[in-house]
């Protein structure tokens, strides 16, 4: 009799062949150039991850950018900035366009390069030579000058924060022509030339006066301009009291270090600000950003502020969908998930790891879908019981505390199949680098197990959130399978639409190709 392990049934023979290897060296499915660029551009971090170096990721993006047409390249840059809220990647794609199609670059430039940070990123990348040129050239210089000419006072003052290059460096490169005496004084102040202080923009006049007197209201300038000064505890308390919601979230440790919480009522005042549902919604904070603040908060940050961040999280997950039917959430808790979520950055790696993000997404779904089943996995499924009534932070902390072992993406599906369990929607949150379950036959182990589950539940749908997007996937895109790159807040909306019946095939490519090239964004 023929060996049944070698000669599968016709169902196995029809599985799509896994023709490439992932970064862990195991079989995987290769995505199309457009699909790969879409995933990398919307969520890629261009820094070293557990499996891939920063140089490898940059080379991948540049090669993919050469393989797609300029319209898709421009649309991808727009999508990465508008929807993914990325910084380095859309600036890089604009720099690539500067070598391929200057007309297309001019069309999208004011929409992608929408603030001073993006302007400096674009200039830095273009002058680095990675896209094939080391000088700006006449057309890019003209676009940078136009940005400076169109920017208002607030945008220019905000743009002064940051170096390599600084805004002063950019101004020296492109030589903008000041439209009036105020703009002329600003440029002179910026590059250290003599100027009439009375002609400076109002914000800078107030800032320069406050630096000398330290009296009156704290000037309305970027937070970093104030922190560069030698300030006392009372001045720091005044800054904290007037800070925006986002500035408060991002600087709790700074406020603690400078004695802000020594003043009676300050901790409670800032906690009320952070927990205010209306301010949370207005700030458009991502759950991920709240997780960063929660994990970053040092021991000197009062507990009332930690509690406020948890309250804010409950507001921030409002758009996590409630899904009809049986939902299974599968967070990857393997060793590779200990990688910082935004990659390794010397001296600046995020305290938030991929496992923290996976745990956050899983906990958020459990909070809104209280009957959902959670199957954390590494080499095998890790049994854990979560209380859906607990806060998102509490459950996320429990899940993130597991950790370790190899990656076996097929393990949760194998568990469901062994139990003959039903599932309407299965959601994986992983780095997608499965290797423990590497099969010796046609497809990946994950697609084999998914096909078994589909035979039992024909309407089941599978979502794979890849926290470290690359060029491969463990299951191919198709109508019932959606591969998502990254962890932005829009992921929840996409999953809701998919669960309601949207087609998973080439989802990101279709999303990007819907981007109108001529839509104008307001400079921020």
Domain positions in the chain? 69-213, 222-318, 320-513
pTM: 0.80
- pLDDT value of position 248: 95
Position 445 scores a pLDDT of 93
Is 457 buried (19+), middle (13-18) or exposed (0-12) by CB count in 10 A?
A: middle
Q: What is the pLDDT of residue 487?
A: 67
Contacts of 147 by beta carbon, 8 Å cutoff, 6+ apart: 109, 110, 113, 119, 523
Residue with tokens 């999208």: 108
pLDDT, average across residues 23-37: 86
| Model pLDDT, residue 343 | 65
pLDDT at 300 over 90: yes
Q: How far is CA 22 from CA 298, 357, 434, 444, in A?
A: 38, 21, 8, 11
In this prediction, residue 135 carries a pLDDT of 83
Task: Return the percentage of the chain with pLDDT > 70, whole number.
Answer: 90
Question: Which of 321, 329, 504 lies closest to 416 in space, CA to CA?
Answer: 329
Determine the pLDDT at residue 212: 85
473 closest CA partner among 450, 502, 498, 499: 450
pLDDT surpasses 80 at 490: no
Q: Is 51 helix (H, G, I), strand (E, B) or coil?
A: coil
Question: What is the third-level CATH fold of 320-513?
Answer: Rossmann fold (3.40.50)
pLDDT class of 60 with cuts at 50, 70, 90: confident
pLDDT band at 13; cut points 50, 70, 90: very low
CA separation (Å) from 254 to 90, 214, 236, 258, 429?
Answer: 30, 20, 9, 6, 33
What's the pLDDT at 6? Answer: 40
In the structure encoding, which two tokens stand for residue 132, read together? 């094939």
Residue 86, class by beta-carbon neighbours within 10 Å (0-12 exposed, 13-18 middle, 19+ buried)? buried
Q: How confident is the model at residue 439 (pLDDT cuts 50, 70, 90)?
A: low
Give residue 20's pLDDT band: very low, low, confident or very high (50, 70, 90). confident
């Amino acid at each position: 009799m023929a060996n049944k392990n070698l000669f599968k049934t016709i169902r196995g023979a029809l599985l799509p062949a896994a023709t490439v290897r992932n970064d862990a060296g195991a079989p995987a499915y290769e995505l199309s150039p457009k699909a790969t660029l879409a995933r990398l551009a919307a969520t890629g971090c261009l820094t070293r991850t557990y499996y891939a170096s920063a140089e490898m990721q940059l080379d991948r993006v540049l090669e993919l950018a050469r393989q797609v047409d300029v319209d898709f390249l421009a649309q991808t840059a727009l999508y990465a900035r508008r929807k993914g809220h990325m910084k380095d990647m859309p600036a890089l794609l604009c720099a690539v366009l500067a070598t391929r199609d200057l007309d297309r670059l001019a069309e999208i430039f004011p929409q992608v390069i929408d603030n001073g940070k993006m302007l400096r990123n674009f200039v830095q990348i273009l002058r680095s030579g990675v896209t094939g040129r080391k000088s700006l050239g006449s057309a890019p210089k003209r676009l940078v000058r136009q940005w400076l000419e169109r920017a208002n006072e607030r945008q220019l003052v905000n743009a002064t924060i940051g170096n390599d290059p600084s805004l002063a460096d950019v101004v020296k490169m492109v030589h903008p022509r000041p439209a009036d005496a105020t703009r002329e004084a600003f440029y002179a102040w910026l590059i250290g030339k003599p100027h009439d202080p009375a002609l400076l923009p109002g914000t800078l006049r107030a800032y320069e006066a406050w630096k000398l007197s330290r009296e009156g209201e704290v000037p309305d300038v970027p937070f970093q301009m104030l922190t560069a000064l030698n300030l006392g505890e009372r001045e720091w308390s005044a800054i904290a009291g007037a800070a925006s919601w986002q500035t408060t979230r991002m600087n709790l440790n700074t406020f603690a270090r400078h004695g802000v919480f020594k003043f009676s009522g300050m901790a409670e005042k800032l906690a009320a600000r952070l927990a205010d549902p209306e301010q949370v919604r207005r700030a458009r904070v991502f759950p991920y950003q709240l997780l960063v603040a929660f994990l970053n908060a040092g021991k000197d940050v009062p507990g009332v502020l930690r509690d406020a961040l948890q309250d804010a999280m409950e507001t921030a997950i409002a758009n996590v969908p409630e899904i009809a039917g049986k939902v299974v959430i599968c967070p990857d808790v393997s060793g590779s998930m200990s990688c910082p979520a935004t990659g390794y950055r010397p001296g600046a790696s995020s305290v938030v790891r991929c496992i923290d993000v996976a745990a956050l997404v899983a906990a958020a779904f459990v909070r809104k879908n209280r009957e959902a089943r959670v199957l954390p996995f590494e080499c095998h499924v890790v049994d854990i019981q979560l209380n859906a009534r607990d806060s998102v932070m509490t459950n996320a902390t429990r899940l993130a505390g597991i950790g370790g072992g190899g990656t076996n993406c097929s393990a949760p599906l194998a568990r469901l199949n062994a139990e003959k369990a039903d599932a309407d929607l299965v959601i994986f949150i992983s780095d997608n680098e499965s290797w423990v379950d590497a099969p010796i036959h046609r497809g990946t182990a994950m697609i084999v197990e998914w096909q078994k589950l589909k035979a039992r539940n024909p309407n089941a749908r599978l979502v794979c959130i890849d926290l470290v997007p690359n060029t491969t996937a463990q299951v191919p895109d198709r109508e019932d399978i959606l591969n998502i790159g990254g962890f932005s807040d829009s992921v929840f909306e996409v999953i809701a639409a998919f669960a309601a019946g949207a087609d998973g095939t080439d989802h990101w490519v279709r999303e990007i190709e819907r981007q109108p090239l001529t839509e104008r964004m307001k400079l921020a």
